[in-house]
Amino acid sequence: MFKAVILDKDGDKLSASVKEIDDATLAANTADADVVIDVEYSTINYKDGLAISRGAPVVRRWPMVPGIDLAGTVRESGSEEFPVGSKVVLNGWGVGEGHWGGLAQRARLKSDWLIPLPAAITPRQAMAIGTAGYTAMLCVMQLERFGVRPQDGAVLVTGAAGGVGSVATALLSGRGYEVAASTGRLEEADYLRELGAVEVLDRAALAAQGKPLQREHWAGVVDSVGSYTLANACAQTRYRGTVVACGLAQGMDFPATVAPFILRGVRLIGVDSVMCPREDRLQAWENLARELPAEKLERITREIGLDEVVGAARDILSGKIRGRLVVDVNA
């Protein structure tokens, strides 16, 4: 038997609790998997918050074990690439949405979804990074792919005190960018400066409808917020600058005009971590293991146990979580 967070639905009523599960039940619910993993750490991302607190549309099958991320050790294997004892990381691929996920002491997954844990980091550090941090790296890679360089000027990070935002701030500052961090929690200004932000902005300045074209500020933007914030970020981006959009913490809408794109040649690039090809994942994790200093990662991380997951899911949706939450599933 092992412990797992189980989401279930009775009519319209959702339930989320920690339960004891046996291997046969796990196997029956993960028929297409070829690898069994002893999970060491998982994490709570915004999407896990949505799954645990609201169910649909993130959760597509019931009952479900949530958790879009995990790190652990292979216990049984039908894969030559990942023999028993291999340390692995999993992010996305619909795990915790349509396939039983990482907020459990054991998981059964397809080996195609796994990547080897980089040698320089521990399973706990991998989950301190999690999907939020790996997405932040994908965003940084896209900024650079589209030509944004540190000497081009300041880069804006929105939702800066959240998971994606905290890691993006640390990564960009590590690469030599001048980072302006936008946050609704100005009391976290010192935290954001410690991560490397040179300027901390009140998110209220970006949160409401603004003019289609505004004063040019940003060479690049990493946006995890969407809605008016993304529209204003585009309107403030410099000629031929790049805006990378990955999130919807303010809203899924995009109430913008085409003016920044057709008059300033601004590029708007989307980032998806869930189905991201393996080559980009491996590159992102290699970069993360090399670039993210252990002390900065520890600074953004708080650890909880499985029993605290349901409360933490509510908190992340109300924007109360600073940085990243790691879940020690064996605590």
DSSP 307: G
Map residues 258-287 to x or -, x wherever contact with ligand NDP holds by CB under 6 A: -------------xxxx-------------
Stretch that binds ligand NDP, among 7-15, 45-53, 119-127, 304-312 (CB under 6 A): 45-53
Q: Which is nearer to ligand NDP, 21 or 159 (CB)?
A: 159
* Smallest separation, CB 20 to ligand NDP (Å): 29
Q: How many residues bind ligand NDP (CB under 6 A)?
A: 33
Tokens (6 digits) for 92 = 């996305």
Q: Which is nearer to ligand NDP, 36 or 312 (CB)?
A: 312
> Is residue 249 part of the contact set for ligand NDP (CB under 6 A)?
yes
Tokens (6 digits) for 55 = 């169910």
The residue type of 273 is S
Q: Which is nearer to ligand NDP, 74 or 234 (CB)?
A: 234
Map residues 10-39 to x or -, x wherever contact with ligand NDP holds by CB under 6 A: ------------------------------
Alpha-carbon span 69 to 96, nearest angstrom: 8
Which residue number is nearest to ligand NDP in terms of Cβ? 162
| Residues 118 and 79: beta-carbon distance below 8 Å | no
Alpha-carbon span 245 to 157, nearest angstrom: 10
Stretch that binds ligand NDP, among 102-110, 127-135, 278-286, 290-298 (CB under 6 A): 127-135
Q: Which residues of 312-322 are buried (b: 16+ CB within 10 A; e: fewer)?
A: bbeebbebebb
* Rounded (to 5) percent helix, strand, coil in the chain: 35, 30, 35
Residues 180 to 219: which contact ligand NDP by CB under 6 A? 183-185, 203, 207
Among 224, 232, 237, 242, interactor with ligand NDP by CB under 6 A: 224
> Is residue 250 part of the contact set for ligand NDP (CB under 6 A)?
yes
Q: Which is nearer to ligand NDP, 230 or 306 (CB)?
A: 230
| Residues 3 and 106: beta-carbon distance below 8 Å | no
Alpha-carbon span 85 to 155, nearest angstrom: 42
Q: Which is nearer to ligand NDP, 163 or 241 (CB)?
A: 163
For the purposes of burial, counting CB atoms within 10 Å of the CB of 257, is it exposed (0-12), middle (13-18) or buried (19 or more)? middle
Helix (H, G, I), strand (E, B) or coil at 39: strand
| Residues 184 and 204: beta-carbon distance below 8 Å | yes
Positions that interact with ligand NDP (CB under 6 A)? 45-47, 131-132, 135, 159-165, 183-185, 203, 207, 224-225, 229, 246-250, 271-274, 316, 319, 321
